[in-house]
Structure 1
Amino acid sequence: MSVLAYFTSPAGLRRVLAFDAISGVGTGLLQLAASGLLSGMLGLSEPLLRSSGIAIFAFVALAAWLAMQRTPSRAGLAVLVVGNFAWVIGCLWLALGGAPGATILGVAYLMVQVLVVAALAELQWMGLRQSRMVVAA
């Protein structure tokens, strides 16, 4: 079994969803608990860090709920994929000038989110497509 097939299989997809939820909890808590410190280091505003930290928990709740299902809901998975790609676009926009005060560390922080969330969204998208093929067959 290829690595890609491993992560897009039903069990692999649940692992990807669980990782999405766990990493989201870490990021959300970090942004909520240390928004003042992070703001100075990253050059991103405290309100942005706090509000995005709160928003992350909507993703966490959906990803965790989907990860606990034997067969993740295709509709829920589609919502998560769209939300994750929207998150990627938002972080990319901020990194490329939408947050003019962002430091080099702030841009790096945003780009790490772009890369990780894009990879998770792509694996989730592939898992969604795989589930559609299984249902069609």
Structure 2
Amino acid sequence: MSVFASPRFLRQVLLVDAAACLATGALQLGLTSRLAEALALPGPLLASTGAFLLGYAALAAWVASRQPVPTGWVTLFVAGNAAWGVACIGLLAAGVLAPNAWGQAWVLAQALTVIVLAELQWLGLRARRARPLAA
């Protein structure tokens, strides 16, 4: 059986997503001023996205605890993660922000992380749809 077809795969990916958002959100909200200075990113952007990430983490963890994991929520998370990744890259490419090299790395790391998570969630959904209902 493929790892993507495992009945636990989506739950585990959602828990990783929740943990990553919890860590990033807590850092951005708890260390807003220090990160703003170190990364040359706007403090209000870091604080507001940090707060959003904490809420997202709670929701993703809650969805992961459902039996079975609700497909509709995972589909929404796929779209949200993909949009977050595109927005991160778009902000840098458009020159809307002027982060230093560390700030660029911070934003690109978020983009890469959420794009990978979106892909893993999508693969899990596809494998679930291909799995017989009795599984």
| TM-score normalised by L of structure 2 | 0.89
**Closer/same/farther in 2, CA of residues 54 and 76 from structure 1, 3 Å limit:** same
Aligned partners of 1:20 and 1:63 also within 8 Å: yes
Matches within 5 A, 1:24-39: 24-39=21-36
More helix by share: 1
CA deviation after TM superposition for structure 1 residue 60, in Å: 1.0
CA shift digits 1:7-37 (9 cap, x unpaired)? 4522122111111101111100000011101
Q: Is the 8 A contact 1:32 1:49 kept in 2?
A: yes
Q: Give the letter aligned to residue 75 of structure 1.
A: G
Three-state SS of the structure 2 residue aligned to 1:69 is: coil
Q: 1:42 — aligned with what?
A: 39
1:91 alignment partner AA: C
Q: Report the CA distance shift for 1:8/1:123 in structure 2 as closer, same or farther (over 3 A).
A: farther
Unaligned runs of 5+ in 1: none
Amino acid at match of 2:97: P
Pair 1:86 & 2:83 matched: yes
The amino acid of 1:22's aligned partner reads A
Partner of 1:118: 115
Structure 1 segments, 4+ long, off by >4 Å, are none
Over the matched positions of the two proteins, sequence identity in percent amounts to 40
CA RMSD of aligned residues (A): 1.8
Aligned with 1:57 (options 54, 59, 63): 54
> Which structure 2 residue ranges, 5 or more long, are not aligned?
none
Aligned length: 134
